[in-house]
């Protein structure tokens, strides 16, 4: 039995995505294509009964989240700086694989610590609280997270490698597309008086909602080592 379902979404397209610029913490807005992508995803998810939403406070993510939740005006949307893209320092605004020195670049280990800390605090914390309150016994609760490609791929890879979640057979963790959707299903397991969560990722960066529309296959922020 599935008790929780987590939807993790990357924001829609921006002009910096289109031109291959590294965004990092720069607050770049969605372009018209990105707004359309968010609208198509909103339509695809309109019947999902989200219990709560979480988003990066950067507008390309928060606007995507707001669009998805337009059919659910009662859902609380929590904005959190911890869901921002990796901080790219001096590389922000550069195009492609820039060789410019970036002494203030957020190191991979720091990014993993940040996104795992957020996940344990906000997602695992929410689910365990719901279990204690007896709210996980009925229909599965659905949660929405909207963030950025580099952060999402880092988080999911670290959770799978660290065996915090399982990965369905055939799924591979790679580049994350605009408005790509990953889904993790969680089951509550009881052993004696102890309850814990078992999560399985069943989709990764799925863009079926975009049908045959144009999409950018490479994310400059994910190219930075």
Catalytically annotated residue among 3, 11, 106, 222 = 11
Rg of the chain over Cα atoms, rounded to whole angstroms, equals 17
Question: Of the residues 3, 13, 85, 148, which is catalytic?
Answer: 85
Please write the tens of the pLDDT for every residue from 90-122.
Answer: 999 999 776 777 899 999 999 999 999 999 999
The pLDDT tens digits of the residues spanning 194-211 come to 889 999 999 999 999 999
Does the annotation mark 11 as catalytic?
yes
Q: How confident is the model at residue 45 (pLDDT cuts 50, 70, 90)?
A: very high
In this prediction the pTM is: 0.96
Q: Which domains does the chain have, with CATH numbers?
A: 4-95+110-222 (3.40.50.1240)
């Amino acid at each position: 039995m599935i008790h929780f379902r987590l939807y993790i979404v990357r924001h829609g397209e921006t002009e910096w995505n289109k031109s291959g610029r590294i965004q990092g913490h720069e607050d770049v807005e969605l372009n018209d294509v990105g707004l359309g992508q968010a609208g198509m995803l909103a339509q695809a998810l309109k019947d999902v009964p989200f219990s709560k939403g979480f988003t990066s406070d950067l507008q390309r993510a928060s606007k995507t989240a707001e669009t998805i939740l337009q059919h659910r005006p009662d859902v609380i949307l929590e904005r959190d700086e911890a869901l921002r893209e990796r901080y790219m320092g001096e590389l922000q605004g550069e195009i492609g694989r820039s060789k410019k020195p970036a002494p203030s670049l957020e190191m991979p280990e720091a990014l993993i610590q940040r996104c795992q800390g957020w996940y344990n605090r906000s997602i695992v914390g929410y689910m365990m609280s719901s279990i204690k309150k007896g709210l996980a016994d009925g229909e599965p609760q659905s949660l929405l997270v909207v963030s950025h490609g580099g952060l999402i791929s880092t988080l999911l890879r670290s959770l799978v490698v660290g065996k915090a979640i399982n990965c369905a057979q055939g799924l591979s963790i790679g580049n994350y597309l605009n408005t790509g959707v990953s889904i993790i299903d969680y089951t509550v397991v009881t052993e004696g008086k102890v309850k814990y969560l078992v999560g399985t990722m069943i989709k990764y960066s799925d863009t079926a909602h975009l049908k045959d529309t144009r999409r950018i296959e490479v994310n400059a922020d994910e190219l930075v080592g």
